């Protein structure tokens, strides 16, 4: 039978109907996916810098080429102005800021600086039937503290921090590191904590996380091509070439070089000058417009460091050692041919050494060879010693100290004195008590050229005291002294910001918001499980390149989050 108008199909209408149905289904799946699996967030502040950036400024040194980020200076009611440097106190004679590894820059470079947006991230929501949060995850959660106005379920602000404490643990933050043990006593109890007990262990980070968390202190790669000695610069290398007797070794060529060379096979030392460049937990991200980082804010000496360089010997037989003097001990990693030895020994107050203790002795196929550049790293981190050659760990050893022993060795004072119960203040928060580490490379057996000579430091979780007006006014910050124990219940987590000096986190949170206190958990300083959202895992949209006529996303800064 021939088609008639009443029986003929309408393919165009059918296609439209199918398209609309598909779009509806797609939107449903998108909303379900967003609600239960992955959600996007924007980083508002710099409390996780430099791992994640909130609104920020970006600078590049014209002398060294180094690029670095800085927290906005000029704000209006807490919101950074679109253009920075218009309200800051910058004079013609003051430097704008100081690069991490470069130089003081002219005041003009600090004026009319574009404010860049914060990182946009994807968050994988926690599905507790599949997996739980892990230590050192970067987590997003609802802030449990007061917001200044009454809130109800889901109205708390979204925060992002690094998870350092898990349910059922007691946490101690000592000399910048995280120590844990199985909690004893009721959650939230303020009973005295015993930091000398033998059941404490240090929380060690995985390689992937640790590599992301190293903070640069110096890198010879950023030596200027044309340093101007008439300017106030910071280009002079903190490394000093010394002979065995401590005098200057003239066989070294170091100053204003990206690579350092030693023209002799005789024993020599490349020694770090801590007076010229202290190794501290200072963040250049936090610098003010006209401030000198050494005077702007107190800083703690950091002994968890990484030494790295490319080694190019001219002949066979090079002997190489990385040496660190810190925490009342000398730590040494010796490389001779295919043999690697890790050792430590105590040092008396007058510097007199005790007996060596060999922690690890091994052989490796990854040797330092003539005619090529071998990349060598020495790590002293989380109470471990590590040697890496060409990106592979060839030697590893640990030493296990309790929090009390760590304090006693680091500060060279009886731990019992410093850890006795206190009602106000925090004796461990005096940064002047933390001595600078002494660092050096020892070399002999061949003339050698060293490339990309750098020193990095680890995160350092600072101790402190609660601010005036807080429920615990004047008392030590949570977990930074035994008198303020940090004991986590079965559904409680503890978090800290990577930008430790400038992060409002579990160490100093006040009494929770009334709704959280009454409906979820009244404990100070913790994130209840019900407020956890998920794990941040990818920066999918970094800020735009600045000073472009057409906005161009900085896709080179897209990255996974560790």
**Neighbouring C-alpha atoms within 13 Å toward the C-beta of 306:** 22
Residue whose pair of structure tokens reads 């037989």 in the numeric block = 317
pLDDT range class, residue 190, cuts 50, 70, 90: very low
510 compared with 190, residue with greater pLDDT: 510
pLDDT for the residue numbered 6 = 40
3-state secondary structure of 366: coil
pLDDT for the residue numbered 188 = 47
pLDDT at residue 445 greater than cutoff 50: yes
pLDDT at residue 11 greater than cutoff 70: no
- Element spanning 201, H or E: strand 201-202
Give the pair of three-digit tokens for residue 292: 């000198």
pLDDT-wise least confident of 203-217, 293-307, 309-323, 411-425: 293-307
As a whole number of angstroms, the distance between CA 397 and CA 281 comes to 25
pLDDT for the residue numbered 294 = 43
Highest mean pLDDT pick, 12-26, 61-75, 365-379, 412-426: 365-379
**Cis peptide upstream of residue 27 (ω within 30 degrees of 0):** no
pLDDT-wise least confident of 27-41, 58-72, 178-192, 460-474: 27-41
Assigned superfamily of 210-457 = Exo-inulinase; domain 1 (2.60.120.560)
As a whole number of angstroms, the distance between CA 14 and CA 373 comes to 67
pLDDT at residue 30 greater than cutoff 60: no
Query: What pLDDT digit, counting tens, does each position of 140-172 carry?
Result: 999 998 866 555 555 788 999 999 999 999 999
pLDDT for the residue numbered 102 = 58
% pLDDT > 90, the chain: 62
pLDDT for the residue numbered 37 = 67
The DSSP line for 73-142 is: --EETTEEPSEESSSS---TTS-S-B-SSS-B--GGGGSSEEPBPPPEEEEEE--TTT----TT-EEEEE
Asked if 312 and 461 touch (Cβ cutoff 8 Å), the reply is: no
pLDDT for the residue numbered 391 = 96
Sequence-distant (≥ 6) Cβ neighbours of residue 70 within 8 angstroms:
56, 57, 58, 59, 97, 284, 285, 287
Beta bridge partners of 80: 75
Q: What is the pTM of this model?
A: 0.90
Show the 3-state SS of 373-427. CEEEEEEEECCEEEEEECCEEEEEEECCCCHHHHHHHHHCCCHHHHHCCCCCCCH
In 385-451, where does DSSP find H-type helix? 403-411, 415-419
pLDDT at residue 202 greater than cutoff 50: yes
The residues spanned by each domain of the chain are 210-457
As a whole number of angstroms, the distance between CA 13 and CA 10 comes to 6
C-alpha 469 chain-centroid distance = 30
As a whole number of angstroms, the distance between CA 423 and CA 430 comes to 16
pLDDT at residue 36 greater than cutoff 60: no
Query: What pLDDT digit, counting tens, does each position of 214-265 carry?
Result: 999 999 998 877 766 545 455 678 999 999 999 999 999 998 899 999 999 9
pLDDT mean over 521-549: 86
pLDDT at residue 427 greater than cutoff 90: yes
pLDDT at residue 530 greater than cutoff 90: yes
As a whole number of angstroms, the distance between CA 250 and CA 242 comes to 8
Q: What is the mean pLDDT of the chain?
A: 86
pLDDT mean over 498-515: 93
pLDDT at residue 490 greater than cutoff 50: yes
3-state secondary structure of 268: strand
pLDDT for the residue numbered 29 = 45
pLDDT mean over 376-400: 98
Question: Closest by alpha carbon to 10, among 18, 52, 87, 206?
Answer: 18
């Amino acid at each position: 039978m021939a088609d008639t108008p009443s029986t003929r199909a309408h393919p165009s209408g059918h296609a439209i109907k199918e398209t609309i149905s598909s779009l509806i289904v797609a939107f449903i799946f998108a909303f379900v996916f967003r609600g239960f699996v992955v959600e996007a967030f924007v980083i508002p502040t710099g409390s996780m810098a430099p791992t994640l950036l909130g609104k920020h400024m970006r600078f590049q040194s014209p002398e060294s080429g180094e690029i670095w980020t800085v927290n906005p200076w000029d704000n209006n009611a807490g919101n950074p102005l679109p253009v920075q440097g218009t309200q800051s106190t910058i004079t013609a004679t003051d430097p704008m800021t100081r690069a991490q590894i470069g130089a003081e820059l002219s005041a003009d470079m600090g004026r009319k600086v574009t404010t860049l947006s914060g990182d946009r991230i994807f968050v994988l929501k926690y599905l507790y039937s599949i997996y739980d949060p892990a230590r050192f995850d970067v987590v997003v959660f609802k802030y449990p503290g007061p917001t200044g106005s009454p809130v109800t379920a889901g109205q708390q602000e979204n925060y992002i921090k690094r998870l350092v404490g898990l349910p059922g643990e007691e946490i101690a933050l000592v000399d910048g590191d995280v120590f844990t043990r199985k909690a004893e006593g009721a959650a939230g109890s303020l009973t005295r904590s015993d930091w000398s007990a033998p059941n404490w262990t240090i929380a060690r980070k995985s390689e992937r996380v640790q590599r992301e968390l190293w903070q640069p202190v110096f890198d010879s790669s950023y030596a200027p091509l044309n340093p101007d000695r008439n300017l106030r610069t910071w280009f002079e290398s903190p490394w000093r070439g010394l002979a065995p007797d401590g005098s200057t070794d003239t066989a070294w060529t170091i100053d204003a070089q990206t690579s350092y060379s030693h023209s002799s096979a005789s024993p020599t030392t490349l020694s770090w000058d801590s007076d010229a460049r202290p190794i501290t937990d200072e963040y250049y991200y936090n610098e003010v417009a006209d401030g000198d980082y050494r005077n702007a804010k107190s800083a703690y000496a950091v002994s968890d460091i990484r030494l790295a360089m490319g080694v190019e010997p001219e002949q066979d037989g090079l002997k190489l050692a990385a040496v660190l003097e810190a925490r009342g001990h000398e730590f040494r990693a010796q490389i001779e041919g295919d043999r690697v030895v890790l050792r430590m020994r105590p040092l008396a107050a007058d510097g007199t050494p005790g007996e060596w203790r060999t922690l690890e002795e091994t052989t490796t196929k990854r040797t330092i060879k003539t005619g090529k550049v071998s990349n060598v790293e020495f790590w002293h981190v989380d109470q471990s010693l590590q040697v890496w050659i060409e990106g592979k760990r060839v030697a590893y050893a640990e030493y296990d100290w309790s929090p009390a022993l760590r304090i006693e060795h680091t500060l060279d004072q009886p731990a019992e004195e410093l850890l006795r119960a206190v009602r106000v203040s925090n004796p461990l928060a005096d940064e002047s008590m933390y001595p600078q580490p002494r660092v050096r490379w020892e070399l002999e057996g061949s003339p050698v050229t060293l490339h990309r000579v750098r020193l990095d430091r680890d995160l350092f979780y600072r101790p402190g005291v609660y601010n005036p007006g807080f429920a615990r006014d004047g008392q030590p910050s949570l977990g930074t002294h035994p008198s303020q124990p940090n004991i986590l219940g079965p559904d409680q987590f503890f978090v800290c910001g990577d930008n430790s000096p400038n992060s409002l986190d579990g160490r100093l949170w006040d009494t929770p918001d009334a709704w959280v206190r009454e409906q979820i958990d009244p404990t100070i300083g913790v994130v209840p499980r019900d407020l956890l959202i998920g794990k941040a895992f990818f920066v999918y949209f970094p800020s735009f390149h600045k000073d472009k006529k057409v906005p161009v996303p900085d896709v080179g800064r897209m990255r996974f989050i560790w």
